[in-house]
């Protein structure tokens, strides 16, 4: 696991956007796994700026969802399909056909989960998966004590996660209780996993993810097992790291040709 400490969210967004651009230049039809929420917005904004400036041609890039609410009607503005189309697909100038995600409106939710896992595999696998981290250490919607070998499946959200997401709805009552999420085992199959965390509120979760034991109680700690996992954090989110100075030194000495 590589830990990169950046000055602020904008710097983190630019760093990760350039890593994505480098991937797309090398592999134009790369499959990019995207996360939702406010944290990754600087990534998408920086990447869209590069596309508009002609620094990278993303016309063949494919986009896949990390998770989806169960039961929100098709076209609901806060369904993650709608969010990804609005914040990623459209700004990058991609066609909706370039997008794939699980069906949160399916009558047979379990079948929809299995179908999505199969679709990711048949697409050649995820080249780079973006992640955020919850205040309780969850990634995707793999809440604490999720199996570290889990596949895409339905999960029940904790009250804390629903409260964290209530800002996107008119009230807490409107936040669904269930989601479809890529499992931890599914996430770990991505060739490169990049987690961005910003703000003091994420500091404890980041410290447990990076320096704590690998444990289902902190689902993000499973990234310690990944062959190419990168954790990008701003100064506030890095504030609880015991090895912060070591991470700064190793990144400063890293050869530029290695990339992110």
pLDDT tens digits along 219-232: 999 999 999 999 99
pLDDT string in tens for the chain (260-residue length): 999 999 999 999 999 999 999 999 999 999 999 999 899 999 999 999 999 999 999 999 999 999 999 999 878 999 999 999 999 999 999 999 999 999 999 999 999 999 999 999 999 999 999 999 999 999 999 999 999 999 999 999 888 889 988 998 999 999 999 999 999 999 999 999 999 999 999 999 999 999 999 999 999 999 999 999 999 999 999 999 999 999 999 999 999 888 88
Q: What string of DSSP letters covers the chain?
A: -EEEEESSHHHHHHHHHHHHHHHHHH-TT-EEEE--SSTTHHHHHHHHHHHHTTS---TT-EEEESEEESSPPTT-TTSHHHHHIIIIITTTT--GGGEE---TT-SSHHHHHHHHHHHHHHTT--SEEEE---TTS-BTTB-TT--TT--SEEEEPPHHHHHHHGGGSSSGGGS-SEEEE--HHHHTTSSEEEEEE-SGGGHHHHHHHHHS--BTTBGGGGGGG-SSEEEEEETTTTTT-TTHHHHHHHHHTS-GGG--
pLDDT at residue 158, rounded to an integer: 84
Residue 45 a catalytic site member: no
For residue range 133-169, list pLDDT tens digits in order.
999 999 999 999 999 999 999 999 888 889 988 998 9
One of 14, 67, 68, 164 is an active-site residue; which one?
A: 67
pLDDT at residue 172, rounded to an integer: 94
Residue 114 a catalytic site member: no
One of 14, 103, 136, 164 is an active-site residue; which one?
A: 136
Residue 192 a catalytic site member: no
pLDDT at residue 74, rounded to an integer: 74
Residue 177 a catalytic site member: no
Query: Which residues touch 14 (CB under 8 Å, ≥6 apart)?
Result: 42, 46
Structure tokens, 49: 């700026």
One of 14, 103, 143, 234 is an active-site residue; which one?
A: 143
For residue 17, what are the β-bridge partners? none
CB of 154 closer than 8 Å to CB of 187: no
Residue with tokens 């009552």: 173
């Amino acid at each position: 696991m590589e830990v990169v400490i950046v000055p602020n969210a904008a710097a983190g967004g630019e760093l990760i956007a350039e890593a994505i651009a480098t991937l797309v230049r090398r592999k134009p039809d790369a499959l990019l796994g995207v996360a939702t929420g406010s944290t990754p917005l600087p990534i998408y904004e920086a990447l869209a700026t590069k596309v508009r400036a002609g620094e990278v041609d993303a016309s063949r890039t494919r986009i896949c969802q990390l998770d989806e609410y169960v039961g929100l009607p098709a076209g609901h503005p806060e369904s993650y399909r709608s969010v990804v189309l609005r914040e990623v697909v459209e700004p990058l100038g991609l066609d909706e056909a370039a997008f794939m995600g699980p069906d949160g409106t399916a009558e047979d939710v379990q079948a929809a989960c299995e179908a999505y896992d199969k679709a990711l595999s048949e697409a050649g696998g995820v080249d780079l998966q973006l992640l955020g981290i919850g205040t309780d250490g969850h990634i995707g919607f793999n809440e604490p004590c999720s199996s570290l070998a889990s596949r895409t499946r339905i999960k029940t959200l904790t009250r804390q996660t629903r409260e964290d997401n209530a800002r996107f709805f008119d009230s807490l009552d409107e936040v669904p209780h269930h989601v479809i999420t890529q499992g931890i085992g599914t996430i770990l199959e991505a060739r490169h996993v990049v987690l961005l965390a910003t703000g003091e509120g994420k500091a404890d979760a980041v410290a447990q993810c990076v320096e704590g034991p690998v444990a289902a109680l902190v689902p993000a700690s499973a990234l310690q097992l990944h062959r190419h996992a990168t954790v990008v954090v701003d100064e506030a989110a890095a504030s609880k790291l015991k090895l912060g100075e070591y991470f700064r030194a190793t990144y400063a000495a890293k050869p530029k040709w290695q990339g992110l």
